[in-house]
Amino acid sequence: MDCKRAQKLSEQYISGNLPQEELPEYLSHIKSCPVCRESLVTDYSIATAIEQLNKGEDFSVDYSNEISQKLIRSSQFLVHKRRLLYVKRVVIAALLIVVLVLVVGSATKKTWYYLPENSTESLRLKHYGIPQDYDPVWVEISELNNEAVAKLRELASLGGIPDE
């Protein structure tokens, strides 16, 4: 920001109408440029004195100190705003992580499948669908398997499996 622009913005700054997005650059110029700072003090003194005169108020004791305080408050406001933005980002990031953990957690959750009543072992599968769902395919496979085993046992008890 050049001096011409800064001094133009000083008027808006004094009246409190400086757009927030202009504030960081304006403040950094005023801090680093003694000419514009001096000009700001003068402009502020005149504007405030006129306002006080119009309102019938007493004149300030130290206009220079007043504008310094105003500049400090503006700087603090910017720091506060930056901090708030940082906190906001941290909170959003934390929420995203929580959501991600929940989504990944529920997607990889192992589900118990219902098996036929007479089966001795439960079957545990990685499952990406509806939890605790009745799986007719697995039930059928298990039933067929149980039937086959029973048939083999029956044959074994009769003295061995006959040749086909």
Binding site for Zn ion (CB under 5 A): 3, 6, 33, 35-36
User: Any long-range contacts for 114-121 (C-beta under 8 Å, 24+ apart)?
Assistant: 114/139, 115/139, 115/142, 116/142, 116/143, 116/146, 118/146, 119/146
Minimum CB separation from Zn ion for residue 65, in Å? 21
CB of residue 20 to Zn ion, shortest distance in Å? 21
Those residues whose C-beta lies under 8 Å from the C-beta of residue 15, and which sit 6 or more positions away, are 47
9 vs 115, which CB is nearer to Zn ion? 9
Q: In the bound complex, what is the minimum distance in angstroms from residue 52's beta carbon to Zn ion? A: 27
Q: Which CB atom, from 6 or from 14, has the smaller least distance to Zn ion?
A: 6
| CA nearest to 13, candidates 26, 3, 25, 4 | 26
Nearer to Zn ion, 1 or 49 (CB): 1
